[in-house]
Amino acid sequence: MKNEDFDENKPQNGDFTDYGPLGDGDRDEEPEKDTPTDETDEDDVSMYYPDGDSEHMADDDEGDGSFLSAREKKKKKIRKKNARLTGAQIALIAVVFVLYTLVIVTASWILFYKPSAAKNGEDLPFDITPIAGTEGEDAPPVHRDDSASSQSGDETPDPNVTGTSPIDEPAPDDGEEQVETPTSSSEWKVKDGVYNVLVVGMDKQANLADVTMLVNVNTSDASITVMQIPRDTLITTGVSTDKINAQYASLVGNAYHQGYSNSYMKALSDYARILEQSLCVKIHYTVLVDLEGFPAIVDSVGPISVFVPGPMHYSDPEQDLYINIDEGWNELDGKAAEGFVRFRSGYVQADLGRMNAQKIFLTALYQKVVSLLKKMEIGKITELAQVVSNNVTTDMSVSDLVFFARAFMNIGIDNVTMMTAPGDMATSTHYVLNRAATLQIINDHFNIYEKAIDDNIFDRYWTFCYNYDVYLNVYYAPVTSAYTSEYTGDEVAGDGIAIPFLH
């Protein structure tokens, strides 16, 4: 186009818009157009839509634009959500996360926790050095002196013939020559999942151990074995009555005078050591029950259904003990249960009959407690835990207690065996263990080692027999003549135990 043809007052190229005259400084400026420029709004996406497609543009604007990826949309939503959280809310989330982690870790710990066990060949609690001349069942008895004067009836033993406590660990007498080549400790490999627990029921008024039970828990074959040791069992450690229940009382006195803060638990530890070294067993844990709290423990789990084998009637105002229980099935509360397990005057076998009655009650109590645990009756379990904590002392940790509670839930009553330590009444006042039968039970049920306990190391200090015929005749009697009274839990729960009554 030539310059002379340009008329500023005429519209150009069909543009009829009147822009007005251009000033000298406006020559380089171009009029606004609808094409995008560098300064176009980044959020304006109208250029991507056909003219007039405002409906789709509005829809996409509502959804943040179809050109955003799904991941970008998710991040944008999270940023918006986090922006709305306060500092307190973030702190609460962190605390919940930490608590959740602790719960998972604790649950895993409890699920896979196992109590510490003895290591192979280490820390053997008894002497494994054989005594010369005692190998085999036909060997002469340890400590036996055939020239010693015999004793019968209830005569008092010669004070010059006394036993020796394994706590003192004396050197052997001249007649007890030690073998030069002792058994290697490396031979004593420990079985997996086998634990022994000493349970003592104490009469706090006299500090007597009226109940002594050795309990074996075998988690490998899911079984429990309980051996009751009669309270009148002869023991030759120098206690005044020569009875095992007085042994614990003597140890309590010793611990008190030695200044121990808890003389009861120190005495229990020493008591366990005597049994370990004499019976050749490993005791992993000890439990001390205050018998005054026994009724409260029973009441915390509810009445116990028990079949009473005969009429029980007894009164003792001095002990505030009144027993009136009829024969047959009874629902025993705490006070009645105490009378049931203490009654003995009407039995032909006195204390041995009472121990069989205790087997009946322990079976019923075990079934009741396991039932509570399986049903997760939180109220009853909490009440039981509170009462037990007030009346039971143990060296177990909380993790140990949980471990054994879980084990009990998996052990049926048919895998529970209860027995009395084998022996017989040598006199009217003293029960004497039978050496061979007791050793057999130890090996069958309480030996945590793969190697059998041999006769030449068992009861090396003659803890359970004086050197008089009246005691020796029971101590060395054949196994078949020993009183054992062994029952399985399902036998007791089903048919009960026939206990002879005087009337």
Instruction: Please state the separation of Cα 298 from the chain's center in Å.
Output: 20
**Whole-number Cα distances in Å, 370 to 18, 387, 395, 406, 408:** 101, 17, 22, 9, 7
For 412, which DSSP code?
A: -
Q: What is the mean pLDDT of the chain?
A: 79
Domain boundaries, the chain: 77-108, 185-495
Put residue 65 in one of left, alpha, beta given phi > 0 → left and psi -120 to 50 → alpha.
Answer: left
Query: Can you give the pLDDT at residue 264?
Result: 95
Check the CA dihedral 290-438-471-160 and report its sign.
negative
Q: pLDDT tens, 45-87?
A: 555 555 555 555 555 555 555 556 777 766 666 666 655 667 6
- Tokens linked to 197: 């627990």
pLDDT tens readout for residues 376-416: 778 888 888 899 999 999 999 988 998 998 899 899 999 99
> In the chain, what percentage of residues exceed pLDDT 90?
51
At 284-334, the pLDDT tens digits run: 999 999 999 999 999 999 899 999 999 999 998 888 889 999 999 999 999
Phi-psi region of 238 (alpha: psi -120 to 50; beta: other; left: phi over 0): left
In this prediction, residue 171 carries a pLDDT of 43
Q: Please, what is the Cα angle at 109 between 104 and 114, to 5 degrees? A: 160
DSSP secondary structure, 431-497, as one string: EEE-HHHHHHHIIIII--BSSPPPTTTTTTT-TT--SSHHHHHHHTS-GGGSB---EEHHHHHHH--
Distance CA 247, CA 255 (A): 12
Percent of the chain with pLDDT over 70: 67
pLDDT at residue 111 in the model: 53
SS3 371: helix
Q: Is 90 exceeded by the pLDDT of residue 146? A: no
Report how far apart the first and last C-alpha atoms of the chain are (Å, whole number): 146
> What is the pTM assigned to this prediction?
0.72
pLDDT band at 144 (very low <50, low <70, confident <90, very high): very low
Residue 274: Cβ within 10 Å count = 20
Each residue of 184-224: pLDDT tens digit? Answer: 677 899 999 999 999 999 988 889 999 999 999 999 999 99
Mean pLDDT of the 263-289 span:
97
pLDDT tens digits along 345-376: 889 989 999 999 999 999 999 999 988 888 87
* Cα gap 491→485, rounded to integer Å: 12
Architecture of domain 185-495: 3-Layer(aba) Sandwich (3.40)
pLDDT in tens, 248-261: 999 999 999 999 99
Whole-number Å distance between alpha carbons of 466 and 402: 42
pLDDT above 80 (res 283): yes
